[in-house]
Amino acid sequence: MSDLPTTETTVTRRITAFLLILWALHVVPVVQEMRGPRQTTWPVMAWGMYRYAHRPPVEITESRVSVETTGGGRRVLEPQDLGLQSYGFQRLYAGPIARGDTATARMLGNRFRRATGAPEGDIEAIVVLSIRYRLTGAGLIADTTFGRFPYESP
Amino acid sequence: MKSAARWIEAWNQWWFPQSTGLRLAVCRIVVVAAQLFVFMPFFQPSLAEHLVLLRGPTGFVEPQWMIALLAAIPGAGFVFTPIFMTIAYFATIGAGASTLVGFRTRVSAALFALGTWFFVSHAYSYGEEHHAEAILAIFLLLLALSPSGRRLSLDAVRRRRDAGAPGTVGTAVWPLKLVQLLLAWSYLSNGVAKLAFGGLEWMNGYTLQTYMLQDALKWDLPLGVWLAQHHALCVWLSVATIVFEMTFVLAVFVRRVRPAYLAGGAMLHLGIYLTMGAIFFQHIVLYACFFDVERGAAQPSGRYSPSSAGHSP
């Protein structure tokens, strides 16, 4: 390329530089993922999905979170109620609460109050219903557990 | 030095072969039409859903870089308002339509890419992010950086009227090659992550059964619930998935195996959608970048010719 006029190679050189930078950007999150923290900067992301192995038994847990009010009423929370989407709600709130995280339950109550303008003292507790599905030779078996986290306004 | 020159020559031949721009134009039309008429209306948050997210109680959870930047520079009070979002949404659709018909193609594509990046980034600033749109969004940006309106466009009609039939250029293939490699990279790094984190145990069948059951129950997909109960089938599907992901890169370099990989990929994504609800139809649409519609037509040798590489209307 050295014998070519500069103007004719400028474009391809710029594109080459662009390609190399883009590749470097794509390699970084993959390397980062291997070392631990997962990079979630869209659109250049680590692509490892469903990457962990599971051993038998095959079982999964679904969690449904509700808010219990002082009047005894119960309202099942949907992600939209909190300005979230499905996976975000599961990852940030439902999952940790189902595992017994009381701090997250309190944060959820705070967020719900801000979202709905519920008055202080109106929320009695955060309740989580966990349904554990287990695959057996006889088919799918489900059992249910409840968790209740009393809520106090901050 | 000689060796370096050979590498540079090979690089240029691969990335910058001569082309009339027809391949790129066809891909522009296919991908932009899919984004406008399929993905935006059916698989991405609607304007109303964006506005609901905007009204959320505590704002962004984990803002993407573009959203953080816009919140900092023009200011959140200016950008993240219903009126701005509404105008931006319809401007994005307008830019998409303009890119589709090839009117001021590169400017339109830049605006369409910007709008698409903005709305996807916005949706992914509330605690969850997905991969499906990533390569498609990058391709939209590439349309703005390449002669994507050289053929099959209003720009081409106008140019032909003014200056006659166009020749060939060396800058109309690299976006397609880049998308091919990005697709291969997405599969390969996914396969590598499975083997690195799960090892060969990832193919034990139980792994796929667990993931499938989890998503099938979440999205109420009877086919997924049924398939998750068949261990042997899940072992075979796991092995096939790893083999596909680790070797898809062959489709980029070996033309003969391409149809098998593209058909396999389409089946894989369709199967994942039906059993696990994960939407990766964007990848199937991007497979258009593998089809060489110019092959056999009046295409020059395909070799890199620097004399015209720089001319990219």
Q: For residue range B127-169, what is the model confidence (pLDDT) as tens digits? A: 888 899 999 999 999 999 999 999 999 999 998 888 877 788 8
C-beta separation of B47 from B85 below 8 A: yes
Comparison of pLDDT for A151 and B211, the residue scoring more: B211
User: Which pLDDT band, with edges at 50, 70 and 90, does A3 fall under?
Assistant: very low
Would you call B178 and A44 a contact, using CB atoms and an 8 Å cutoff?
Answer: no
**B65 and B151 within one domain:** yes
**B269 and B228 within one domain:** yes
Would you call A52 and B192 a contact, using CB atoms and an 8 Å cutoff?
Answer: no
**B103 and B134 within one domain:** yes
Å between A94 CA and nearest CA of chain B: 13
Within-domain flag for B11: no
Q: What are the structure tokens assigned to B218, written together?
A: 């979440």
User: Which pLDDT band, with edges at 50, 70 and 90, does B1 fall under?
Assistant: low
Give the model's pLDDT for residue B309. 46
Within-domain flag for B242: yes
Residues of B in contact with A135 (CB under 8 A): 209, 213, 228-229
DSSP per residue, A98-142: HTT-HHHHHHHHHHHHHHHTPPTT-EEEEEEEEEEEEEETTEEEE
**B86 and B191 within one domain:** no
Q: For residue range B165-221, what is the model confidence (pLDDT) as tens digits? A: 778 888 999 999 999 999 999 999 999 999 999 999 999 999 999 999 999 998 999
Which of A85, A112, A136 has the highest number of chain B CBs within 10 A, making it the mutation to test binding with B? Answer: A85
Residues of B in contact with A117 (CB under 8 A): none
Q: For residue range B27-41, what is the model confidence (pLDDT) as tens digits? A: 999 999 999 999 999
Sequence-distant (6+) residues with CB within 8 A of B226 are: none
Would you call B209 and A135 a contact, using CB atoms and an 8 Å cutoff?
Answer: yes
Residues of B in contact with A52 (CB under 8 A): 197-198, 202, 207
Q: For residue range B90-127, what is the model confidence (pLDDT) as tens digits? A: 999 999 999 999 999 999 999 999 999 999 999 999 88
Would you call B11 and A1 a contact, using CB atoms and an 8 Å cutoff?
Answer: no
Number of Cβ atoms within 10 Å of the Cβ of B233: 15
**Boundary residue ending a domain (B117, B152, B172):** B172
Q: What are the structure tokens assigned to B123, written together?
A: 């949706």
**B84 and B30 within one domain:** yes
**B56 and B196 within one domain:** no
**Boundary residue ending a domain (B172, B196, B231):** B172
**Boundary residue ending a domain (B172, B201, B231):** B172
Q: What is the pTM of this model?
A: 0.88
Residues of A in contact with B61 (CB under 8 A): 84, 88, 92
Q: Among B45-49, B68-72, B294-298, where is mean pLDDT lowest?
A: B294-298
Q: Among A81-85, B17-21, B139-143, where is mean pLDDT lowest?
A: A81-85
Identify the top-confidence range among A42-51, B12-21, B133-142.
B133-142
Compute, in degrees rounded to 10, the torsion defined by CA atoms A84, A88, A93, A96.
Answer: 180
Within-domain flag for B229: yes
Give the model's pLDDT for residue A7. 56
**B257 and B122 within one domain:** no
Mean pLDDT across A19-46:
86
Does residue A88 belong to the interface with chain B, where contact is any CB pair within 8 Å? yes
Give the model's pLDDT for residue B53. 84
User: Which pLDDT band, with edges at 50, 70 and 90, does A2 fall under?
Assistant: very low
Q: Among A88-92, B194-198, B224-228, where is mean pLDDT lowest?
A: A88-92
Would you call B127 and A7 a contact, using CB atoms and an 8 Å cutoff?
Answer: no
Nearest alpha-carbon partner for A58 in A126, A114, A139, A122: A139
- Alpha-carbon distance of B267 to B284, in angstroms, equals 9
Q: What is the ipTM of this complex?
A: 0.84
- Alpha-carbon distance of B59 to B77, in angstroms, equals 12
Q: For residue range B229-280, what is the model confidence (pLDDT) as tens digits? A: 999 999 999 999 999 999 999 999 999 999 999 999 999 999 999 999 999 9
**B161 and B207 within one domain:** no
Would you call A86 and B131 a contact, using CB atoms and an 8 Å cutoff?
Answer: no
Give the model's pLDDT for residue B194. 95
Q: Return contacts of A13-22, CB within 8 angstroms, 24+ apart.
A: A15/B15, A15/B16, A15/B145, A15/B171, A15/B174, A16/B11, A16/B15, A18/B145, A19/B15, A19/B174, A19/B178, A22/B138, A22/B178
Would you call B128 and A91 a contact, using CB atoms and an 8 Å cutoff?
Answer: yes
Within-domain flag for B104: yes
- pLDDT at position A118 over 70: yes
User: Which pLDDT band, with edges at 50, 70 and 90, does B57 fall under?
Assistant: low
Within-domain flag for B153: yes
**Domain membership of residue B151 as a residue range:** 19-172
Say how many domains are in chain B.
2
**B193 and B93 within one domain:** no
Within-domain flag for B7: no
Q: What residues of chain A, 65 to 84, have a C-beta less than 8 Å from chain B? A: 80, 82-84
Would you call A83 and B11 a contact, using CB atoms and an 8 Å cutoff?
Answer: no
Would you call A12 and B131 a contact, using CB atoms and an 8 Å cutoff?
Answer: no
Give the model's pLDDT for residue B313. 38
Would you call A88 and B126 a contact, using CB atoms and an 8 Å cutoff?
Answer: yes
For B75, left (φ over 0), alpha (ψ -120 to 50), or beta? left
Q: Which of A11, A34, A53 sits opposite B310 (nearest CB)?
A: A11
Within-domain flag for B233: yes
Nearest CA in chain A to B242: A51
Q: What residues of chain B, 26 to 85, have a C-beta less than 8 Å from chain A? A: 52-53, 55-59, 61-62, 64-65
Nearest CA in chain A to B200: A53
Q: Among B79-83, B189-193, B291-295, B305-309, where is mean pLDDT lowest?
A: B305-309
**B200 and B71 within one domain:** no
**B244 and B160 within one domain:** no
Does residue A135 belong to the interface with chain B, where contact is any CB pair within 8 Å? yes
Mean pLDDT across A19-30:
92
**B152 and B282 within one domain:** no
Within-domain flag for B1: no
